[in-house]
A and B are shown apart, each in its own frame.
Chain A
Amino acid sequence: MIVEFWGHEFKINIFFGVLGGFVIAIVSSMFGFGGGPFMTPLMAVGLGLPMYLVVGSSLLAIFFNTLMGTMRHYQFGNFDLTFFLIMFPAAIIGGFIAPQIAKRISPIMVKRVAVLGLLILALNLLGLY
């Protein structure tokens, strides 16, 4: 498939992209997280698209997954309204505070801290410490 973006044309293997999206969507809706951090490398490295094309389009693709996953979880009775109403405002407010902080700190530093934090959490979940 040929993707056209701001006057540039990119040729991609769409079969690979759809299959990858399918697998990521299963895992992400099964465990209840957004698939963004996995979709971006899939499209940037797997399909060879530039970052500025990937950010918006991957968000659109993930939105389909989130919408469907939400409906299915609701259908299976896994949605708790009270709990949602506790977390939803917090997530929205967090989304407004974060950019204010982001201006003041280095994104690479944050990522390194995140790597460490994720590893600790992962080892804890695997029961290794």
Chain B
Amino acid sequence: MKRIWVSLVIALSATMFMMWQNGAFAEKTKDAAPAQAATAADQRTVAPDAGASPTILIDKTSLSNGGTITVTGAAPAGKPVYIEVWSDDKVRVSRFDAEVDKETGKRPYILYMTDEMPAYYKIFMPKDRKETLDGIKKEGNNWSVSKALKDLGADIAYSAPTKARIDRYQATLMGSIIGSRGDLLPQMDEKESKKRSMQLIKARFRAPDKVLSADVEVNPDGTFKAALKIREGLAPGKYSIVAVVDKGVKSQPLTFDNKIEFPNMYLNNAGTSLNLIWPFLLTLAISIFGVLMGAGGGFILNPLLVSIWPLPHTVVAGTVMPTVLFSQASGIYNYSKIKFINWKLGITIGMGMVVGGFIGPKLTELITLDQYKFVFGWILIILAGLMFWQTTPGYLDKNKKEQSILKEFRRRAEETIKAKGK
């Protein structure tokens, strides 16, 4: 009974901490944003001359966990209008390049990594690009960001992610064994950096419809209008909007604010906001089932988490793992009380495992989400086989005998503890 109270206190204090971290107790900042829209409204709405920068207006400056924001403006007549939107909030993305280089025929084994990828990035383009875009969506997982941007003519608008600083590391076999990222290579030039940032865009956003959309209605006189749907579950904070008509010909950036309020929470490392009630219930249900079936909940929890929410597999693996630390430690304590641990055996095998645990997390970074899911699928099949074996009559028979020995030992152990207590 006491332990239930302890766990409740832990749960409650964790929730309070989260609310505090989310700013639920903080004073709401006064909205100072409308002023910006007003100054923008003073600007002319007539179509500017050819070659001039476009102008834009937005109908609101604040959203609450996504919504629709209407952008109107004027551009030189006859030009396609692209609208680039990105968040101020940055996340980390990495991509391991192990594909055969077409020119040299060698595998480069280079890890590209940036901490400055916008948590949200999207290019909205004229409606007449819809067909081309649908074609790209049909390519499935093989789509390429650079090819898509070129085909859609949207490469002129691609600018915010190019500012991200990308580090690259030359991975070596030895480096992987000792668990280092490899040697830091010199900074790339602008062109190479842009190319790699596009690959990182794909690594972060996965599907074309997350970064590309054809929503801008352009009239013959150059005025345009677009209802930008900003989806749920994004980063809070400032977002910037820029309209682009040609290389370097763009409007002044306008900004809006996306508010995320409790019980929605923003996960800094994952770059995703979600209603925390759902992961809480999912974890609760699966950890109960995990205990009942005698395997850790991580086996079911991890693949579900990466499938249901846009969470990177690195963050899922790195965050689920520590949740079992406490229960393992208390299990060891309970077993040691009744002398059910052979320390020599446990520590010797543990030495092998500690080295494995040193290498494993490094490898998580080197695989893509699809590879993660694929290998996990096979692991689950092996696990299912093992569990099936545990329900076969032969195993159950043997288990029954051992269970009775276990009970006998446990009884004796408890008696010795009692005897000592007296």
Which A residues are closer than 8 A to B by beta carbons?
1, 3-6, 12, 14, 17-39, 41, 43, 50-53, 55-70, 72-99, 101-102, 105, 107-108, 110-115, 117-119, 121-127
Contacts and interface: CB of A to CB of B under 8 A. Distances in A.
Contacts of B406: 51-52
Given A33-B320, A57-B346, A90-B280, A64 B391 contact: no
Interface stretch (B239-247, B248-256, B381-389): B381-389
A18 B349 contact: yes
Interface string B275-306: 01001111111111111111111111111100
A92 B343 CA distance: 26
Contact of A118 (B298, B319, B380): B380
B300 A59 contact: no
A112 B380 contact: no
Looking at A74, A83, A84, the one whose CB has the most chain B CB atoms below 10 A away is A83
Given A73-B361, A86-B279, A92-B327, A30 B317 contact: yes
A110 B324 contact: no
Given A72-B361, A80-B267, A123-B377, A34 B350 contact: no
B238 interface: no
A25 B355 CA distance: 8
Main secondary structure of the interface of A (DSSP, over half): helix
Q: Nearest 3 pairs between A and B by C-beta?
A: A25-B356, A78-B318, A32-B317
Interface residues of B, number: 120
Nearest to A98: B291
A125 B377 contact: yes
A24 B356 contact: yes
A82 B365 contact: no
B379 A99 contact: no
A31 B376 contact: yes
Given A17-B349, A25-B355, A66-B325, 15 more contacts: A36-B294, A60-B341, A61-B349, A67-B357, A69-B360, A78-B315, A78-B317, A78-B365, A84-B319, A91-B283, A115-B384, A118-B300, A125-B380, A126-B378, A127-B373
Contacts, number: 405
A63 B286 CA distance: 21
B303 A87 contact: no
A120 to B, nearest CB: 9
A75 B11 CA distance: 26
B284 A80 contact: no
Given A21-B350, A55-B335, A118 B325 contact: no
B56 to A, nearest CB: 34
B373 A125 contact: yes
A99 B7 CA distance: 15
B318 to A, nearest CB: 3
A31 B179 CA distance: 16
A102 B358 contact: no
A111 to B, nearest CB: 5
Contacts of A76: 314, 318, 361-362, 364-365
Interface string B1-38: 00110011011001101100100000000000000000
A122 B120 CA distance: 31
B362 A80 contact: no
A79 B341 contact: no
B17 A83 contact: no
B377 A86 contact: no
Contacts of A115: 384, 387-388, 391
B357 A65 contact: yes
A73 B354 contact: no
A59 B255 CA distance: 53
Contacts of B363: 26, 30
Contact of A57 (B14, B298, B341): B341
Contacts of B302: 31-33
A122 B342 contact: no
Looking at B179, B286, B352, B391, the one whose CB has the most chain A CB atoms below 10 A away is B352
